[in-house]
């Protein structure tokens, strides 16, 4: 059972700890179950790749300064949302960007949100591109600004180390091997762009890139 204190660890530790955990989204009586397979850590005021670099406290970045376990949603390129989970203690604005998910349940719901089709109607290209990117997964799970600043442990959206399927409890595996790589699309971040702060489950076909 994951509780608030789980999110009080630093951004890098949390980014690794979130791999393999389940992200469960519920709305209008529907449930979508996914597994986190790729994350990036953003390490706060000293990180040139982070929105809060230089202690940039603005209306937008407010959720990042909340204690670990709060949601930070931002709009990118005018069209896509991305979701982060705040890490560490209050006023330490580290966070984890969720970059890719493995779809587990609610496949028709996800396919509808992404392509307006049932899962069975998707072609191979669409199946491969369901949730393998931060913008795609927000579209697939209907994640938008209405969740900004809220807790990641709510009925609407939650991170868990188990889920229920046909009355049985499926638990996240505890020892998985983690691959490290450079973060994506932060060319402006000078030396910080080469830090190996992107993490993903080794061998997973659901990651955004290898």
Partner DNA sequence: AGGCAGATGTCCT
Partner DNA sequence: GGACATCTGCCTC
Positions touching DNA (CB under 7 A) are 40, 42, 49-51, 56, 58-61, 72, 75-80, 82, 84, 95, 97, 114, 129, 133-137, 139, 183-188, 208
Q: How far is the CB of 167 from DNA (least distance, A)?
A: 34
Phi, psi for residue 120 in degrees, rounded to 5: -60, -25
Give the nearer residue to DNA in terms of CB position, either 40 or 109. Answer: 40
Q: How far is the CB of 5 from DNA (least distance, A)?
A: 22
Give the nearer residue to DNA in terms of CB position, either 78 or 167. Answer: 78
Confirm if 58 and 72 have CB atoms less than 8 A apart: no
Give the nearer residue to DNA in terms of CB position, either 8 or 143. Answer: 143
| Residue keyed to tokens 């179950």 | 33
- What tokens were used for 185? 């699309």
What Å distances lie between residue 56 and 52, 68, 91, 120, 150, CA to CA?
Answer: 5, 18, 12, 46, 20
| Residue keyed to tokens 């060319």 | 187
- What tokens were used for 19? 């791999």
Q: How far is the CB of 174 from DNA (least distance, A)?
A: 26
Give the nearer residue to DNA in terms of CB position, either 6 or 47. Answer: 47
Q: How far is the CB of 15 from DNA (least distance, A)?
A: 11
Beta bridge partners of 198: 40, 181
Q: How far is the CB of 206 from DNA (least distance, A)?
A: 12
DSSP structure string for 27-48: ETTEEEEEEEEEEEEE-GGG-T
Beta bridge partners of 181: 198
Give the nearer residue to DNA in terms of CB position, either 80 or 162. Answer: 80
């Amino acid at each position: 059972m994951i509780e608030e204190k789980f999110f009080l660890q630093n951004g890098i530790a949390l980014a690794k700890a979130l791999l393999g955990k389940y992200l469960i989204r519920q709305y209008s009586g529907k449930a979508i179950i996914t597994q986190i397979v790729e994350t990036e850590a953003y390490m706060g005021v000293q990180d040139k790749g982070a929105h809060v670099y230089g202690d940039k406290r603005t209306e937008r970045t407010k959720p990042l300064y909340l204690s670990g376990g709060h949601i930070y949603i931002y709009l990118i390129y005018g069209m896509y949302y991305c979701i982060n989970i705040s890490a560490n203690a209050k006023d330490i604005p580290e966070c984890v960007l969720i970059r890719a998910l493995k779809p587990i349940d609610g496949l028709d719901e996800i396919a509808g949100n992404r392509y307006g089709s049932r899962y069975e109607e998707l072609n191979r290209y669409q199946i491969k591109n369901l949730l393998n990117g931060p913008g795609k997964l927000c579209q697939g799970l209907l994640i938008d600004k209405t969740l900004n600043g809220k807790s990641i442990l709510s009925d609407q959206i939650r991170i868990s180390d188990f889920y229920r399927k046909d009355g049985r409890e499926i638990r996240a595996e505890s020892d998985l091997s983690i691959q490290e790589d450079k973060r994506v699309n932060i060319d402006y971040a000078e030396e910080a762009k080469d830090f190996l702060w992107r993490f993903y489950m080794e061998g997973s076909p659901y990651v955004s890139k290898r």
